[in-house]
Structure 1
Amino acid sequence: MNKSNEKMTRYRWLICSMLFFATTVNYLDRQVLSLLQPMLEEEFHWTDNDYGTITAIFSLFYAVSMLFAGRFVDRIGTKKGYAWSIAVWSLGAGLHAVCGVVTERWTGLENAEALRLAQGADIVSQIAVVSVTAFIVCRCVLALGEAGNFPAAIKATAEYFPKKDRAFATGIFNSGANVGAIVAPLTVPLMAELWGWEAAFVIVGLIGFVWLGLWTFVYRKPEENTRMNEAERAYIEQDAAPDAARTDGSAVPDEAGKLSFLQCLRYRQTWAFAFGKFMTDGVWWFFLFWTPAYLKAQYDMVGTQIALPIAVLYTITVAGSVFGGKFPTYFIDRGMNPYAGRMRAMFIIALFPLVVLLAQPLGYMGYWVPILLISVGASAHQAWSANIFSTVGDMFPKQAIATITGIGGMAGGLGSVFIQKGAGALFTYSDETNLVFMGFEGKPAGYAIAFIFCAVAYIVAWCVMRTLVPKYEPISDL
């Protein structure tokens, strides 16, 4: 058979589907806490500041872990790096279930009901401190594992897709974040009501171990994969030459482990990617962690009441993730290089979150109005995310992608630290002082301030990125 006429296999899409399901599990694990926050708040006597502390420390530990996770994945390879990552985060997810027992043993109280009914400043304070500490420890284990998801997924995408398809593939697997965020509100509150909140953490942790078994069986490097043919392999490697040679024609050694962080920071391309992540990652996490709390504060909704609006919100965001990743091809197919086309698309995408400015002013019309406006902002974030990740593959060779992705992930995590802790402190302060802003009082005033930041963050990020890297400048001197 003439291999030039051989019909191309589609194994790369099986890999993409595995990345999709891993990201779904990733966000399912991550969102359980936010959905159970109203229930946990009552049982453990948390304030918004306490919850903000938990999410902020998670973000901080995630940020630091991202820096090393990317390097770890580059050193040991995509398959092993991803396997270790999901094993650790699934273990961390399950560990949350013991936080209640730890708090009961430490405080000497018999059960959850005793914790909930406890009175007196000293015992209430002790319950809050012990439980917050226990959840922080579990969140740190979760963060350590979850930090490897995107460096490994972006590296796998670079290994299995040519540059022109990477944003689309990234958009598809990144839409798993939306699916996880859809599935979570439809299942987690129900599991908590039927079997207790502890069961929700255990069940989602077990799902990760199921994926781990499948990944071990499915993943092979393209050059070692006997389940794909030469036609597909040639398609994947169609633009391998820029990754394989320097501008002087000499080969680039496959020595990702010897690329130091300081060397990475020499490049404006690294700083552009990192700043874009710093400004915008926290917005997504704010929507993820605080929307259930917002519905409770603004509309007195709890438990299964929030399931439908949250599910609708993240259903809409699937469109942003998938079609946002495909959007730059409109410009690329018309002659733009991948980076220029991506930046053009990202500017247009950055305009959509501005509708979040109307979330509070129009909130009097009912909770569906802010939910739909937030869903536009969240959808735009996913479109932005698919493209900003792909700028790394546009400009850096494959052996550096996970390391650079890790640096950007750390920057995004640090940005989220400020937003999560700042939001918790802001909402507690606005509630205690009855803050007035734009005609809103108390917590609604705090949310109005937070939504302003979420709306403008993308425009600011795009302007700085474009200033740092105004045109396509691939790195070829590593």
Structure 2
Amino acid sequence: AMGWEWAFIIIGALGFFWMGLWVFYYKKPHEHHKVNEHELTYINQDHQEIPVEESPAPEKKFSFRECFSHRQTWAFAFGKFMTDGVWWFFLFWTPAYLSSVYQMDSTQSAFPLFVLYVITLLSIIGGWLPKYFVEKRGMNAYSGRMKAMLIFAFFPLLALLAQPLGSITYWIPVFIIGIAGAAHQAWSANIFSTVGDMFPKKAIATITGIGGMAGGIGSFIINKSSGVLFDHAHKAWSTVNGTPLLEKYPQYINERLPDGFFEDLKKSGAVVVDGIDKGYMIIFSIGAVAYLIAWGVMKALVPKYKEIK
């Protein structure tokens, strides 16, 4: 009785509930009873004490030109550009993946998707691991985060096995995508924190916005190109009874395949191998190595911790 419209209504209502919690429970750091003196000192570390009798000079703002003059900005932006799209690909395309490869409808895929997002809760380790490196190993904050991010960057490599092992059961790619998603969120929590480690407070919002824009561009590119690739894979890489689809049906070279085309062929007894499997393998492979590439470039741009004054 409750259609898809209710999904938007319920989630929208939860947004108002979250807003209520934010309004009533959020406090500024110096007003919050759970922020201790050491944490408050760290938050305000770029504030200089100004004698009461002196009038404070106007604080110099960071211009966009100045922001882009720092390697730290490019490191953060490139890290976001390379990795945000992987998360949004998994978020948007996993239901289509289960439908295309495993012929699941929205009802059948609901529980696997629920399990997948439960697995992403493992991302909570993203806050614990760098803290361990800083407090137990004596690293500075930037080095601790970068070491944690390198560890997280290896987990998405499991996506290389999603397609080969997916022939056993669909649960294997579901678990792999869940782990990769958890690794992304752990990575994301730390890459955002590197901005506060390196830039003064007055520049954090601008640098974060630049990185967010870079991540949005990367997300657009990977999602748009994935759709184009999958459309191409459906036609160019599929076979019917061992014959390339376009060789058997040349009338569809420049036309879109009709809805239910493959299903009708299978019902007629034809042996159909959908080329979209190869398309997903390509995108999974890109997502698998994206984090290591991002980390390598970030480390090359900012090899050691250097705070910008």
Fold match by TM threshold 0.5? yes
Please report how far the alpha carbon of residue 371 of structure 1 lies from its aligned counterpart in structure 2 after TM superposition.
1.0
Q: Does the alignment pair 1:458 with 2:291?
A: yes
- For 1:292, which of 89, 95, 109 is the aligned residue? 95
Please report how far the alpha carbon of residue 243 of structure 1 lies from its aligned counterpart in structure 2 after TM superposition.
1.2
Q: Does the alignment pair 1:270 with 2:77?
A: no
Residue in 2 that maps onto 1:468 = 301
Q: Structure 1 residues 374, 240: CA separation in 2 closer, same or farther (over 3 Å shift)?
A: closer
Q: Structure 1 residues 286, 255: CA separation in 2 closer, same or farther (over 3 Å shift)?
A: farther
Q: Does the alignment pair 1:420 with 2:253?
A: no
Q: Does the alignment pair 1:363 with 2:170?
A: no
Gaps of 5+ in 2: 50-54, 240-272
RMSD over aligned Cα, in angstroms?
2.3
Residue in 2 that maps onto 1:207 = 14
Contact 2:116 2:178 in 1 (8 A): yes
Contact 1:244 1:252 in 2 (8 A): no
Please report how far the alpha carbon of residue 296 of structure 1 lies from its aligned counterpart in structure 2 after TM superposition.
0.3
Contact 2:95 2:106 in 1 (8 A): no
Residue in 1 that maps onto 2:110 = 307
Residue in 2 that maps onto 1:31 = none
Contact 2:127 2:186 in 1 (8 A): yes
User: d(CA) in 1 for partners of 2:161 and 2:58?
Assistant: 50
- For 2:27, which of 214, 220, 224 is the aligned residue? 220
Contact 2:234 2:276 in 1 (8 A): yes
Alignment-mate amino acid for residue 444 of structure 1: D
Q: Does the alignment pair 1:443 with 2:263?
A: no
Q: Equivalent residues in 2 for 1:224-235 (5 A)?
A: 225=31, 228=33, 232-235=35-38
Alignment-mate amino acid for residue 317 of structure 1: T
Please report how far the alpha carbon of residue 435 of structure 1 lies from its aligned counterpart in structure 2 after TM superposition.
5.2
Contact 1:393 1:401 in 2 (8 A): yes
More divergent stretch after superposition (329-338 vs 263-272): 329-338
Contact 1:279 1:412 in 2 (8 A): yes
User: d(CA) in 2 for partners of 1:420 and 1:470?
Assistant: 31
Residue in 2 that maps onto 1:322 = 124
Which string of whole-angstrom CA distances, capped at 9 and with x for unpartnered residues, describes residues 167-226 of structure 1?
xxxxxxxxxxxxxxxxxxxxxxxxxxx322222222222222233233233333233x3x
Percent identity between the aligned chains?
57
Residue in 1 that maps onto 2:133 = 331
Please report how far the alpha carbon of residue 264 of structure 1 lies from its aligned counterpart in structure 2 after TM superposition.
1.2
Contact 1:354 1:456 in 2 (8 A): yes
Residue in 2 that maps onto 1:346 = 149
Residue in 2 that maps onto 1:387 = 190
Please report how far the alpha carbon of residue 276 of structure 1 lies from its aligned counterpart in structure 2 after TM superposition.
0.3
User: d(CA) in 2 for partners of 1:253 and 1:380?
Assistant: 44
Alignment-mate amino acid for residue 131 of structure 2: T
Contact 1:222 1:233 in 2 (8 A): no
Residue in 2 that maps onto 1:401 = 204
Alignment-mate amino acid for residue 220 of structure 1: K
- For 1:432, which of 229, 235, 239 is the aligned residue? 235
Contact 2:145 2:194 in 1 (8 A): yes
User: d(CA) in 2 for partners of 1:252 and 1:239?
Assistant: 22
Contact 2:29 2:40 in 1 (8 A): no
User: d(CA) in 1 for partners of 2:306 and 2:238?
Assistant: 48
Alignment-mate amino acid for residue 410 of structure 1: M
Structure richer in helix, relative to its length: 1
Gaps of 5+ in 1: 1-193
Alignment-mate amino acid for residue 130 of structure 2: P
TM-score of the two chains, using structure 2 as the length reference: 0.81
SS at match of 2:66: helix
Number of equivalences: 270
User: d(CA) in 1 for partners of 2:189 and 2:130?
Assistant: 10
Alignment-mate amino acid for residue 222 of structure 1: P
Which string of whole-angstrom CA distances, capped at 9 and with x for unpartnered residues, describes residues 384-418 of structure 1?
11111111111112222222111111111100000
Please report how far the alpha carbon of residue 375 of structure 1 lies from its aligned counterpart in structure 2 after TM superposition.
1.7
The 4+ residue runs of structure 1 with deviation greater than 4 A are: 251-256
Please report how far the alpha carbon of residue 451 of structure 1 lies from its aligned counterpart in structure 2 after TM superposition.
0.4
Q: Does the alignment pair 1:375 with 2:178?
A: yes
Please report how far the alpha carbon of residue 252 of structure 1 lies from its aligned counterpart in structure 2 after TM superposition.
9.6
